[in-house]
Structure 1
Amino acid sequence: MVKRLFASITLLFALTACGASEVEEATTGNLETEASEEEEVSVDLFEMKQITSWFPQVENAGQYYAQMEGFYEEAGIEMTTEPGGPQVSSISIVSSGSAQIGMAQADQVLYAINEGIPLVAVFANFQKTPQGIMFHKDQGIESFDDLGNGYEIYTAAGAGYWEFLVNQFDIDSSQNRVYTGDSSAFVSNKKAASQMYVTSEPFYLQQEGIETGHLLIADSGYSPYGDVIFTTRAFMEENPEIVQAYVDAITKGWESFKAEPEKVYDYIIELNPDKTVEQMTYATEQMTELVFGGDAATHGVGYMTEERWQTLIDQLYELELIDSDISVEDVFTTEFLN
């Protein structure tokens, strides 16, 4: 009897041990499967690179917000964001295939298309470009015609708006000076005027005790979209679902920025320590209407119209800066905009 009981207990322990082993194997197997699935999800992310228009700044908040909050990953994209700058051509980088997404002014995109580079604009960060001409506040300048009164005007080489200003206002081409990004010539000369971003240079000069006034280029009648997001036509046609995912992610980024702009400030400072909360607060105040106003107020951030693009094409053609054979249908698309 005792022997039978001992044998039964031994068998029970054996079965229990066997069951525990099977449970352990099953659990281990499940964990391995979950790990494999996680690895598979990571592998499935589409690797992309985008080139911004400048060093990390709040003017590109939609892109950086999406990076900070993981909106790209949620959309299935593993995104690498590289900053632009004075020596960086996003158009050259994207057209060569080294990046899929770039950022430039609308007229720059048209120059590229005119040269046979098949780019397509899919999103406009700024409805109204923050580009402008600044001057010393005590000069009493109220219109672009006032700039014709002996001012040295610093603009980037090849700026389309400069040709427009010379054509439309009492400004002579001999007044032009090459803008290098250094404001010292402007600071030392009361009869100097300089290109600027309304979100940036006026703030920094104010910190130095220099008061400025400005005229926005968009108010001259020349109004390209600012910081246009573009890709190549080939990439768009081969990967429409990826372009859609990208536009969805940055749209969510811009909408999040509108609701809580200060949340992205520290992230941008990590990327660009030269930035400060004070400067970005100032920039946000200046740019809110430029990003979310106009057509964006009705149709959503990033929106573009055929009328605006056609007007710009016509202006550049009249100025002999592009050829006449650019079709507006080849320049941009709204199919990815919500």
Structure 2
Amino acid sequence: MPGYTDVKETQRWPRGISAYFRRTAFGRNSIKNGTMMNHNAVVPLSVAMGFAILTSVGCSSRTSQPSKTEDGLDKVSLMLNWYPEAEHGGFYAAREHGIFEKYGLSVEIVAGGPNAPVAQELVTGRVQFAVGNADDVLLFNQQSANVVALMAPIQDTPRCILVREDSGVMSLDGLAGLTLQANEGRPFVDYMRSEGLLDNVNVVPYSGTVTGLVTDKSVAIQAYSFSEPLVAQQEGVATRKLMLAQAGFNPYASCLIATRSYLDEQDDVAERMTKACIEGWQQYLQDAEKSNRAILADNQHGMTLEALEFGATDLRGLCLPGEMDIKQVGKMSARRWQELVKQFQDLDLVDKSMKAEDVFDASFITSTSADTSAETAAETVVE
């Protein structure tokens, strides 16, 4: 069975603290021994208050020179936004294939999970780098955690709406009359509603399983393209993925992120880390086998090689959409970030004062690694 799907959110949090927790606090269900395990991540108020206090006194992490290994490598930590899985494959490839060492780094990969405190760990300096989706980055900054994305391996979001192949639904504007299991309060749901895609759609809370879809062709569910489709396939049901990216909601995914203060003080380490991760993703997209076995060893929550192989195959199209060359892995454009910021402002998820240049830094993505296109390079410059 594949790895994980989104866990049901039990409530819509107030704007003040909901943004940070939408992705990191509410994790995903895991599938273990063929059974969906519901990790209901109820965030204690003390945790939320702790983060609010942290942001109120300023979120600049205190950095110092990284410690060294006996071999002279700089020691840093990379925190994942969930349990290790295919969407982290390139980071594992950098570790397993000696790419981090090539750049003078010794990187500890720290698994996330339900309630993974990614922003807190970054702003307090307990980890130097982390993985987060572009929408996370905006929401973290909305809560005064001044983090920036350094590279974006997954160009097209894996977020999709999954329907049965025999439902007759071919696109997101054809959902009328269906029941959609999706979590209200998620940015993608807000976006779909604003675009009229949920008109005459019965939206109900996501159950955390594909059961409704399997038993009733009038049911659609929120999904990740490299997860739920395999579950349904193993249940004998053919499905169709309706990708949110095709409807205009397309945050980068699995971005390498760090705090602005860390970049200011450790730009050399950040540059080497960015380049190493880009090369790691290039490696993973060409040969995932060794990295997948390492992920499987680090994931004790029901992950399988079949799911990782399925994920790696699906990710290739998401990381290299269209005619994109593998040398461009990790690229980011100011236009994409500006569009996302504008969408979130229109949805009242972030302040009108937020700017794209506040949330990403493409200066470490060089022509020798991730970008050989003059046109794309120009896009990374914020006007």
AA paired with 1:301?
V
2:278, 2:330 within 8 Å by CA — same for their partners in 1? yes
Corresponding residue number in structure 2 for 1:241? 268
Tell which structure's C-alpha radius of gyration is larger. 1
AA paired with 1:246?
M
- Distance (whole Å) between structure 2 residues aligned to residue 178 and residue 89 of structure 1: 25
Corresponding residue number in structure 1 for 2:114? 86
2:138, 2:341 within 8 Å by CA — same for their partners in 1? yes
For residues 150-169 of structure 1, give each alpha carbon's deviation from its aligned partner in whole angstroms, at most 9, with x where no partner exists. Answer: 413323x5321111101112
Q: How far 1:242 moved relative to its partner?
A: 0.6
1:127, 1:294 within 8 Å by CA — same for their partners in 2? no
- Corresponding residue to 2:244 among 205, 208, 217: 217
Residue 255 of structure 1 pairs with residue 282 of structure 2: yes
AA paired with 1:78?
S
- Distance (whole Å) between structure 2 residues aligned to residue 250 and residue 118 of structure 1: 21
Residue 115 of structure 1 pairs with residue 128 of structure 2: no
Q: Residues 1-338 of structure 1 correspond to what in structure 2 (within 5 A)?
A: 42=70, 44-155=72-183, 158-172=185-199, 175-179=202-206, 181-272=208-299, 274-293=302-321, 297=325, 300-338=328-366
Give 5+ residue unaligned stretches, structure 2.
Answer: 1-67, 367-383
For residues 33-76 of structure 1, give each alpha carbon's deviation from its aligned partner in whole angstroms, at most 9, with x where no partner exists. Answer: xxxxxxx8626332211112322212211100111122223322
Distance verdict in 2 for CA 1:180–1:82, change over 3 Å: farther
- Distance (whole Å) between structure 2 residues aligned to residue 42 and residue 178 of structure 1: 52
Distance verdict in 2 for CA 1:216–1:245, change over 3 Å: same
SS in 2 for 1:84: coil
SS in 1 for 2:149: strand
Q: How far 1:82 moved relative to its partner?
A: 1.6
SS in 2 for 1:125: coil
Distance verdict in 2 for CA 1:68–1:225, change over 3 Å: same
TM norm structure 1: 0.81
1:128, 1:291 within 8 Å by CA — same for their partners in 2? yes
TM norm structure 2: 0.72
Q: How far 1:98 moved relative to its partner?
A: 2.1
1:91, 1:104 within 8 Å by CA — same for their partners in 2? no
SS in 2 for 1:42: coil
2:178, 2:220 within 8 Å by CA — same for their partners in 1? no
For residues 94-122 of structure 1, give each alpha carbon's deviation from its aligned partner in whole angstroms, at most 9, with x where no partner exists. Answer: 22322111222211211111222211110
AA paired with 1:61?
G
Aligned length: 298
Q: How far 1:295 moved relative to its partner?
A: 8.5
SS in 2 for 1:73: helix
1:296, 1:303 within 8 Å by CA — same for their partners in 2? no
Q: How far 1:310 moved relative to its partner?
A: 0.4
- After alignment, is 287-296 or 307-316 more displaced? 287-296
For residues 254-295 of structure 1, give each alpha carbon's deviation from its aligned partner in whole angstroms, at most 9, with x where no partner exists. Answer: 122233222323222222263333333322222112112359
